[in-house]
Each structure stands twice: as C-alpha cells, then as structure tokens.
Structure 1
Amino acid sequence: MQIQWFGQSYFKIQSKNNGEDIIIATDPYNDNYGLKVQKFPADIVTISHDHEDHNNIDAIKGEPFIIKTPGEYETKGVFIHGIPAHHDNKDGQERGNIVMFKINTENISIAHLSDLGHDLNSDLLDRIGSIDILLLPVGGVYSIDAKTASKIVSAIEPRIVIPMHYDIPGLKFKSGDKLDSVDKFLKESGLPSEKMDKLKIVKKDLPIDETKVIILNP
C-alpha cells in the first residue's frame, strides 16, 4: 500500500486486491485554496461533506465509485464504512455534518476522520473500532485542535497517525483564517515522528508496540 497527501484532507491511497491495482481518493479540494489540485484516475472517491475544499469530484478522472453518505460499501475487494459525525462541537449546528470513513484494504484498516469538529464518544469509538492507520485533522479552526486530536489518538491507539488539515505553505482561506501547524500536535502528543514523501507499508511492517506519527510532505 502507498499513501500520498496533497494537503487538507486529500489523499491518494494505492492498494492491491486479488492482483488488481486499486486507487482511492479522499476529499479532493478545488483551486480556491492556494494549493495545486492534483488530478488522477481513481476507482473509489470518498467525499466527507459538501464543502469545496473537500468535494471536488472533477479532480478525479475516470468513472470512480463515489461514496458521500454513511453506510457500508464494498467494491473491488475494498470495504468502506461511512460513519456520521459533526463538523463542529455543537451537533452540527454551526458547520453541519460530516462522514468519517473506515477503509479496509490489504488487511489494513484506515480511518479518515475528515473535518471532525468534536471528541469521539464511546459509541463512535466502538463504530470506528480497531485502526491501523489514522488520518487525523490537527489544525483547529474548522476541525479539532491538537489537544483533542491527541486525546483521540490515545483512545483509538492506532499503529500509525498521519496528521492532516493543518497549515502548510501556500494554503489560504477566503476568510483569512490560519490553521495551526503540525508542530503543535507533535508537541501535544509526544509521539515519535518521521517525515517522508509517501508512506509505503504492508501489514507485517506496521509498528507493534507503539504509535508512530508519519508527516507526509504535500
């Protein structure tokens, strides 16, 4: 499996199931945020909510299987569970609702928490279940901050955390808001970290006795 990050919540996950190459895209953004929109063909695209920094389906070429709502899905040997949550800590009254996605492929479980705006209660933790790789917002403002993100890591205990939705060079919002840097999360969590361009991983190489943070270069 190979995972690339393009900023915000936009990932490209390349997997292989039954000898077939599978590409999954998550939350592609449009060109209003100062970042180059990476365009590529994919088999599956997940859209967590209908904000333009998460819903640019036009960036994905081909005829992908599009998942935008809660529920359980299976295509090309990939199992995806969409779990409803909120974009804020007021039951969605300020920014609406989102869908978190649990993706199972190559016997590896990935959780994409989108623009989660609140801590996870016991029901949501049970629904998410055991996770190998956690794609986690950490930048605050529009989603959870470093403190809440660290609390969620402690509750889920994934083997790998990949932070997302934090400030990077070029990122800008029309509102003028600025997200926190990833360093704030690294300090808050105290977890060991490593930077790389792409994460290439197989099940047997996942950390066993610790949670490790992987900082992907966008």
Structure 2
Amino acid sequence: MSDTLLRHGLAMLATAFLLVSPARSETGEPGCRPEMARSRLPISLANLGKDEVRLTFIGHATFLIETPGGVKAATDYNDYVRPPGTPDIATMNKAHSTHYSRAPDPAIKRVLPGWDQSGAGAAKHDITFGDLRVRNVPTNIRTYSGGTDFDGNSMFVFEIGDLCIAHLGHLHHPLEPGHLRALGRVDIVLFPVDGSYTLDQEGMLEVLKSLQARVMIPMHFFGGGTLNRFLSRSQDLWPVERREQSQIVLSKASLPAKPTIIVLPGY
C-alpha cells in the first residue's frame, strides 16, 4: 500500500472514531453532541388543544416543553444538547457542564439558573410567561471534595393549565417533607435514573413513590443498560410503556389511571 493510501485510510478511521465517540463534559459526565440529539427529533408543529402540553426529549436532561399558547421552555439548557430553535424560557443546573450554558442564546427571554450565582443563598424563581408558570424548589448537591453545596441546584415545576410537570434536575439526595410540600401535586415527573452521578436508583424509586405522579419519564441514562437496570427494579411497582418517538402530547384528561413509566428514546 502506498504512503498516500495509508494516510488516507488512517484519516478516514479517525473521522469515523470521532463520529461515534460520545461527547463528555468537562467534569467527565457523558454528554451528547447537539447534532446527535437533533437527528432523532420528530418535531411536530401541530397546534395543541387548550388543555394539552407537548414534551420532547431532546437528550440527557433536556426536554422541550410547549404550551397551547406557544410558549417553549427548555430544561437543563446547556452547550452540548439544545432544542432546535430558541426557547422562551431556559432553566439550568450547575452540577455538570451538560446542565448549564456559559453562552445562552441571547434571544431567550428568561434564563433561570437553579442556583444563586452570587452565592448568597438559594435561587428563587416564580415567573409567569404567557400560559406557563415556572417556579423552582432548591436542592443540595455533592461537591467534588465530598462536601455539600447547599441549595446548589433546583427542581423546576412547570404549570400549564391544570397540569403540573416537575423536572428533578441533577437530584443528589432523597426528598424531605419540605421538598414535597414545596413541589405540591405533580402530574408528570421527569427524573434521572443513572444511579451514580445523581441519586442511587433505590433512592430514586422512593422519590417516585412519594411523588405519586401519574406519568414518570426517565432521563439522564447513559445507554440502555442503565435504563434497563432501573426498569428491572421498578417492574413490580408500575407498568412501563416504551414509545418509539421522542415526543408526547399529554393533557389532564389523557393521563393514565394509574402511575405509569413512559420511556421516550433519548440519551
């Protein structure tokens, strides 16, 4: 083989490796390149009924939440995985760089960090934008030295009409009665299942039991193995529905009669 052909072959192999290698955050937590997430999105532009909400799992811990009034909110908005287009509201958490952005799109109307960037205490958000109300419930996170960053992150609650959606973010610990009171009724919960970077899987099961949401959508899993381990632990507790699309439309009337885990394809 000539040197030219050899160099060409090595270049092709290097390119293929980069295309299939998962992106990682600065902290080592696996992430996703935006183009990987976008290529799987069956984004629908259909209008929503007055009591409906559209959820699209963008990837990792990012969901796009759309209201009947056309308001769009992105959860754990970051520089690795972003929804197509610009959301009106972006929530962020700081445990890893796959959960916040250093350079949010300046067209975003409200950027809500889940921690107080001045270090003065807990973040406090309670805003209404169009037909969407967003508020936060602070939680603690572990530090890299093994300590506790009190009120370092937030769970965000999205209220659309009669529906209450809770995104648990990078939850590191069980929920206490005060957290549950602050969250209030939760109809749909978006929760991490990796079991190592966030709360362990047994602890997450206890969180879900305490919330009693009718729809439970897992996120923050690094491959099917992690997700399946969680589902094997929960199989005697709740039914599981696996969807082929990353998008789902829900309303108060369409919620399942019993708490159900709904799995959307993602990362």
TM, length-normalised to structure 1 = 0.82
- Who is 2:135 aligned against? 81
CA contact (8 A) 1:149 1:185 kept: no
Which of 220, 226, 231 is residue 165 of structure 1 equivalent to? 220
- Who is 1:175 aligned against? none
Higher relative contact order (CA 8 A, sep 6+): 1
CA distance in 1, matches of 2:232, 2:142: 24
CA distance in 2, matches of 1:124, 1:51: 22
SS at match of 1:41: coil
SS at match of 1:124: helix
Instruction: For structure 1, list consecutive stretches of 5 or more residues without a partner in the other structure.
Output: 170-179
Alignment of 1:4-83 (within 5 A): 4-16=56-68, 20-31=69-80, 37-49=82-94, 51-56=96-101, 58=103, 60=105, 62-68=107-113, 69-83=123-137
CA contact (8 A) 1:89 1:118 kept: no
Matched letter for residue 61 of structure 2: S
Which of 192, 195, 203 is residue 242 of structure 2 equivalent to? 195
CA contact (8 A) 1:160 1:211 kept: yes
CA distance in 2, matches of 1:114, 1:181: 17
CA contact (8 A) 2:56 2:64 kept: yes
Over the matched positions of the two proteins, sequence identity in percent amounts to 24
SS at match of 1:54: coil
- Who is 2:259 aligned against? 211
Could you say which structure has the larger radius of gyration?
2
Matched letter for residue 253 of structure 2: K
SS at match of 1:12: strand
CA shift at 1:94, angstroms?
A: 4.9
Instruction: For structure 2, list consecutive stretches of 5 or more residues without a partner in the other structure.
Output: 1-52, 114-122
CA contact (8 A) 1:48 1:114 kept: yes
CA shift at 1:212, angstroms?
A: 0.6
CA shift at 1:75, angstroms?
A: 1.6
- Who is 1:172 aligned against? none
Which of 158, 162, 181 is residue 126 of structure 1 equivalent to? 181
CA shift at 1:125, angstroms?
A: 1.1
CA distance in 2, matches of 1:84, 1:128: 10
CA distance in 2, matches of 1:188, 1:123: 27
CA distance in 1, matches of 2:195, 2:189: 17
Cα 1:183–1:100 shift into 2, 3 Å: same
CA RMSD of aligned residues (A): 2.4
Alignment of 1:129-144 (within 5 A): 129-144=184-199
Q: Decide which structure has greater helix share.
A: 2
TM, length-normalised to structure 2 = 0.68
- Who is 1:186 aligned against? 231
CA shift at 1:106, angstroms?
A: 3.0
Matched letter for residue 111 of structure 1: A
- Who is 1:3 aligned against? 55
Instruction: Report how many residues are paired.
Output: 199
**Per-residue CA shift, 1:145-168, capped at 9, x if unaligned?**
221111111111000001111113
Matched letter for residue 208 of structure 2: V
**Per-residue CA shift, 1:100-136, capped at 9, x if unaligned?**
1111013210001100000001111111111000011
**Per-residue CA shift, 1:82-102, capped at 9, x if unaligned?**
111012399x82566211111
